[in-house]
Structure 1
Amino acid sequence: MAPPFREAVGPRFDPALMQRAREKTWAVLHGIRARMRPGISEDEAKIEAAEVFRELGVERLWHPAIIRIGANTVKTYRQRSDPGVRLGENDSYFIDLGLVFDGHEGDVGDTFVVGHAPQRQACAEAARALFGEVAAAWRSRGLSGQALYAFAGERAAAMGWRLNHAIKGHRVGDFPHSIHKGGDLGELEASPSSGLWILEIQIAHPTEPFGAFHEDLLST
């Protein structure tokens, strides 16, 4: 069981509202996906994202929207994108959103492919599959956060991809979760509770400059 301070929540916290925030954040992500097109830049995509936020009633952002295109898909959250990158005819991109609905935080991410790019498509599908395997291991075996990421690294290598070990998941909750100092999932020495932790998976091709990202709430 995780230490209480790692999973502390505020007086307004409601597990049902956490799930609702998750569902609404996924809806926003797919609204942005519908606006992505060859030729668009990351900055232009963020302008489109802001319009979707207004249309779908986003209360606020708890982290800036991240949209990575092409070679920038190998970069981590804190790394700056290389400028001037535009979505190609046969290319991939990912969207990473941290939104607030009803005072609760949604945090989701996924990777998509345009045109015909079989290796990139395989990478996107592998990120989703790896997320599913790791989440299933948490549900069935009660693994700690540290063990989950060790397992993720082993499975990514077996699948032929390179896991980005700098991406280790994190806490969410009623906004702002940061006051509770939950820390990274990958540093958690206990099994995470349902509905409080984001599992992040970022992988890359072992030699080519592209990767994929998938994240969602760990929930039973």
Structure 2
Amino acid sequence: MTASAAKEAVGELYSLDAMKYAQSMTWRAIEQLSELIRPGMLESEATALGKQVLTELGMQRIWHPLLIRFGANTLKTFKQRSDGDPRLGEHDIYFIDLGAVWGGHEGDAGATFTTGNDPEMLACAAACKTLFDQVERYWREEQVAGQELYRYAAEQAEAMGWVLNLDIKGHRVSDFPHAIYRAGDLGDFAACPNVGLWILEIQLAHPQRPFGAFYEDLLA
């Protein structure tokens, strides 16, 4: 087995349909949670709501910590702790990052939302989704390696006037737990990623102001 093949190994119970179901349930949770988050709410209160939504939807377990970031904390990477417990403003930005197990398979998705009408926050959130779509299309049409996907993503982000955080470069998912395969980051993967096994992550920063945006989804 090649090194690339080993990094894309799956368990006996894995199926693409099950991965897509986990993906759809994760997006359903994000949509429901985003409808509950309101200005004036603390980041910790939104996180508690997120756990409640996941439980009500019947997730089996959380496989990575639920992350909700408000304001300047949208610049934080997954492994960095939030600064304090900020309160969401009337004209603000936040993102939701959910990783939960459904039907024995790992769902993982994230998206950015805004309150009010700050034009640069609105533009940042929109640009993050646009860039994700561009990179996903590049993968689908050109069948390039993970390394090339993130080179292209950085190039496109700069052309759009945003800064891509290359400390966030995507990761494996599969039937739980994917971690046993030690696959590393998508952005370091030397082959074209196969369908239903990798999460493409895009995190942008505003070039001057202290906020950013995040979007991730399954390459399927």
- In the superposition, the TM-score normalised over structure 1's length comes to 0.98
Where do 4+ consecutive residues of structure 1 move more than 2 Å? Answer: none
1:84 CA drift (Å): 3.0
Alpha-carbon distance between aligned partners in 1 of 2:47 and 2:214, rounded to the nearest angstrom: 18
Q: Which residue of 1 aligns with 2:151?
A: 150
Q: Which residue of 1 aligns with 2:4?
A: 3
Task: Structure 1 unaligned segments of length 5 or more: list them.
Answer: none
* 1:95 aligned counterpart, secondary structure: strand
Q: Which residue of 1 aligns with 2:55?
A: 54
Is residue 44–residue 85 contact of structure 2 (8 Å, CA) maintained in 1?
no
Is residue 2–residue 188 contact of structure 1 (8 Å, CA) maintained in 2?
no
Offset from partner CA, 1:3-35 (integer Å, 9 cap, x none): 211100000101100000000000001111111
Alpha-carbon distance between aligned partners in 1 of 2:144 and 2:127, rounded to the nearest angstrom: 21
1:2 CA drift (Å): 7.0
Instruction: Indicate the percent of aligned positions where both proteins have the same amino acid.
Output: 53
Alpha-carbon distance between aligned partners in 2 of 1:155 and 1:54, rounded to the nearest angstrom: 38
Offset from partner CA, 1:27-80 (integer Å, 9 cap, x none): 001111111000111111111111101211111010010000001001100111
1:118 CA drift (Å): 1.1
Give me the CA root mean square deviation: 1.0
Offset from partner CA, 1:142-198 (integer Å, 9 cap, x none): 111000000000000000000001000000000000011121100001100011000
Is residue 113–residue 121 contact of structure 1 (8 Å, CA) maintained in 2?
yes
* 1:38 aligned counterpart, secondary structure: coil
Is residue 58–residue 101 contact of structure 1 (8 Å, CA) maintained in 2?
yes
Is residue 91–residue 115 contact of structure 2 (8 Å, CA) maintained in 1?
yes
* 1:3 aligned counterpart, secondary structure: helix
- In the superposition, the TM-score normalised over structure 2's length comes to 0.98
- Number of corresponding residues: 219
Alpha-carbon distance between aligned partners in 2 of 1:117 and 1:55, rounded to the nearest angstrom: 33
Task: Structure 2 unaligned segments of length 5 or more: list them.
Answer: none
